[in-house]
Structure 1
Amino acid sequence: MDTALPLPRRTRVGIVGAGPAGLLLARLLHGHGVECVVLESRDRAYAERRQRAGILEQGAVDALRACGAGARLEREGIAHDGVELRFDGRSHRIDFPALTGGSRVWVYAQTEVVKDLIALQVAEGAPLLFEAEAVAVEGATTDRPVVRYRHAGRDLTLECDYVVGCDGFHGVTRRSVPDGVSRTFDRTYPYSWLGVLADAPPVYDELVYAHSPRGFALASMRSPAVSRLYLQVPNGEDPAAWSDDRIWDELDARLASAGSRKLERGPLTAKSVLPMRSHVTEPMSHGRVFLAGDAAHIVPPTGAKGLNLAFADVAVLARAFDHLARTGSAELLDAYSDTCLRRVWRAEHFSYFMTTTLHADPAQSPFDARLQLAQLHRLADSPHAAAEFAHNYTGHFPG
């Protein structure tokens, strides 16, 4: 947005945060003719280079296509029809379309999703204000909630009919819900992920999840030329303690199975440690303030659910705001939290299952390790278990 233009003072829906959830919501509202303003604390360059998720479910892809942000995804996204599980010296592929009636997932980095959505938003002139730091959301239970923010050294206000917090766990929006109103549910895991980007072509066509006595490993990709790879490490690990050779050697050791190929090695361009956590805030709304994405829930990345849950949240919100505009009824908005939480808890359960089944807990006994292997063998040997896994992974939660 050109900051030389008058800054918006009033809007129908104020969106705090220009991550993928906030941007997608803005695009969906634009398509429904619902006025909105997006405030983002960081500059555009920072927003477009944040490294996060890379797996999109069918529903997420459909939402991007529907709002006009699917063109580059169609050209550059990599469709995956399954994943490979490695454990106990064997490999087993889960075939998504065969088990779900056609569902699949796509590899397309969150950074690219954000670039596509920002470009659309800027091109069409909808208000998207960068370096606008929200400092408070006030009046949640009134009919005119206000977002107070700082921009270009000035303290400003945005008066809204509704506010949607897409500003993450540490954002200000979730703090507008009083402690006596909300409940939180948490789990912290006793391990983290060391994630690396490598200028090396992936040797596997699909994601490989490996259970190993040495710890978990994941071989993924960002493009045909760039690999995204993860290793289980202790909490608090310093990425600098891992040389490139040590990382490649450990990946090869953990990903090894009968007949498997070693990874193609190349320069590591990024290293970071990602803690593992589950978190849910209930309810996901208070008065006229709504929480979406990480502002309301966090999942460990093992199940590839974080970005997809955020997109599912704002898709529900967009339909509810459209329904309100067309009918005058707030019925769908009132049901937002309950509607989303059903899906959130299913995704939390699947992510917990994936995390605790595939990782080696430092405190686990040999008995616990055998139970993990029993569960993995069940996925490989039972069509019913494999089908449930496939439905959950692709975002079509059964039952």
Structure 2
Amino acid sequence: MKTQVAIIGAGPSGLLLGQILSKSGIDNVILERKDGDYVLGRIRAGVLESVTVDGLKRAGVTKNLEAEGIPHDGCKFVFNGQEYRVDFEKLVGRHVTVYGQTEVTRDLMEARAEIGATTIYDASNVALHDVDGAAPYVTYEKDGQTHRLDCDFIAGCDGFHGVSRQTIPADVLTTYERVYPFGWLGMLADVPPCHEELIYGKSEQGFYLCSQRSKTRSRYYLQVPLTEKVEDWSDERFWDELKSRMLPEDAKNVVTGPSLEKSIAPLRSFVTEPMRYKKLFLAGDAAHIVPPTGAKGLNLAASDVMYLADAFEDYYHNDHSEAGIDGYSARCLKRVWGAERFSWYMTKMMHSFTDDDAWDAKMKQAEFNQLLNSEYGAKLLAENYTGLPY
């Protein structure tokens, strides 16, 4: 088999890239090591920047988003009993849209099926070959047979543990990493949200987040030590702990119910540079990870994909110009590091660290006071939260 762009990974970034390229007349094939149900079963992000919505419009998959997505013009911060609402629309004239990653993925899958583009699921032992040569190709196993996919370029959208980044020689890459000493215990439940907007909270017991996926489905998070085990957290214990961290007037609005899913996610910041090696391009979690505090993971992946789609369109529609390809990594990393800074700032301010001392407590309070007392400070947060310039 031969294609122009081989895309490794059928998560939202790989599917979005494939859909944009297909609409632009650029042939592509997606390889995914899991089946479609597994991909849809991953419970992840739900807050979309306007840049991400623009990317979905570019891909032609916003019908359900426009019908079911919930625009949020602001969010609420609670810090040790003090509260403040950041008004995105007033401060920067933008908003975010609540629409789950599962729904984004499903929309992209269905759109890809409608145009008859090729996605190969259950592709095992994927290997990338000659990425530094003129004729790269990918091999994989499917139904007991070994297959070969020849291509012009390879887009690695296969996440942190995928094969794409591991294919790049170690001496080519520079890696930056910060691992945080806690995780997020998340619960998904079919109960109405306790508040019309997201609540980011810091209490004496630690961070909490009241989020939502729809008007009838909520997602809540608690900061917990990495030593905690999901099986030790009954639904009753989770709800009790959540309400104990919240303001009383917010806690009384929490509707409890059985969990659909519970998991503990460790927090880390990770960036690898460059994001391109010869004919191989990294996008999304294959190149960078941010703590979920700033809601940037899916949004950064989407902007990577749009930069990469721009580069491929420039190449195929402009007499094989390599200007976009050559500038891809630098363009992405400028936005990546901006999002890393914001996610680090949010994580540091809103979480309790084991080595915090009196100085750290004062610094966190000063950061929150900047939101309370400075429109410029609040505007900077709103600008970052709704999305840095693309």
TM-score when scaled to structure 1? 0.95
Residue identity matched to 2:350: L
Q: Deviations over 1:297-319 (max 9, x none)?
A: 00010000000000000100111
- For residue 348 of structure 2, what is the amino acid of its counterpart? T
Are the counterparts in 2 of residues 90 and 257 from structure 1 also a CA contact under 8 Å? no
Please tell me the residue identity of whatever aligns with 2:303: A
SS at match of 2:83: strand
- Aligned amino acid, residue 332 of structure 2: C
Q: Report how far residue 261 of structure 1 moved.
A: 3.9
Is the 8 Å Cα contact of residues 86 and 257 (structure 1) preserved in structure 2?
A: no
Kindly provide the amino acid, as one letter, of the partner of residue 285 in structure 1.
R
Change (3 A) 1:348 1:62: same
Superposed, 1:307-386 pairs within 5 Å as: 307-327=298-318, 328-386=320-378
Residues 366-375 or 161-170, more deviating: 366-375
Question: Which of the residues 213, 218, 223 maps onto 1:227?
Answer: 218
CA distance in 1, matches of 2:87, 2:229: 37
Q: Distance in 1 between matches of 2:124 and 2:100?
A: 25
| 1:134 and 1:147 in contact (8 A); partners too | no
Give the share of equivalent positions with the same residue, in percent: 46
Counting only pairs closer than 5 Å after superposition, residues 164-243 of structure 1 correspond to structure 2 as 164-243=155-234
- Answer yes or no: is 1:280 the counterpart of 2:252: no
Structure 1 residue 366: Cα displacement: 2.6
Q: Give the partner amino acid of 2:114.
A: A
User: Residues of 2 paired with 1:259 and 1:136: CA distance?
Assistant: 51
Determine the C-alpha separation between the residues in 2 that align with 1:277 and 1:244: 26
Partner amino acid for 1:300?
A: P
Q: Please, which of 154, 157, 169 is the counterpart of residue 163 of structure 1?
A: 154
Question: Do structure 1's residue 117 and structure 2's residue 108 form an aligned pair?
Answer: yes
Structure 2 counterparts to residues 2-151 of structure 1, below 5 A: 9-100=1-92, 102-151=93-142
SS of 1:11's partner is coil
- Aligned equivalents of 1:204, 1:89: Cα separation in 2: 17
Instruction: Give deviations 1:337-377, integer Å, cap 9, x for gaps.
Output: 00100000000010000111100001211321221111111
Q: Is the 8 A contact 1:222 1:228 kept in 2?
A: yes
Separation (CA, whole Å) in 2 of partners of 1:153 and 1:357: 51
Q: Which residue of structure 1 lines up, in the alignment, with residue 254 of structure 2?
A: 263
Please give the per-residue CA displacement for 1:246-298, whole angstroms capped at 9, x wherever unaligned: 21111112121667644111112211000001100100010000000000000
What is the letter of the counterpart of residue 204 of structure 2?
P
Q: Structure 1 residues 259, 344: closer, same or farther in 2, change over 3 A?
A: closer
RMSD: 1.3
Q: How far apart, CA to CA, are the structure 2 residues paired with 1:135 and 1:181?
A: 21
How much has 1:212 moved relative to structure 2? 1.0
SS at match of 2:333: helix
Q: Separation in 1 of the partners of 2:4 and 2:43?
A: 31
Name the counterpart of 1:6. Answer: none
CA distance in 1: counterparts of 2:97 and 2:379, whole angstroms: 19
SS in 2 for 1:50: coil
Deviations 1:31-52 (A, max 9, x none): 1111111111111111122111
Deviations 1:163-191 (A, max 9, x none): 00000111111111101111111110011
> Which amino acid letter does the alignment assign opposite residue 281 of structure 1?
T
The counterpart of 2:238, out of the listed 242, 247, 251, is 247
Tell me the alpha carbon deviations over residues 135-186 of structure 1, each in whole angstroms, 9 at most, x when there is no partner: 2111111111111111111111111100000001111111111011111111
CA distance in 1, matches of 2:49, 2:362: 31
Letter in 1 for 2:65: L
Q: Which residue, 281, 286, 299 being the options, matches 1:290? A: 281
Residue 289 of structure 1 aligns with an amino acid whose one-letter code is L
* Alpha-carbon distance in structure 2 between the residues aligned to 1:93 and 1:241: 34
Aligned residues: 389
CA distance in 2, matches of 1:134, 1:382: 54
Asked if structure 2 preserves the Cα contact closer than 8 Å seen for 1:195 and 1:273, the reply is yes
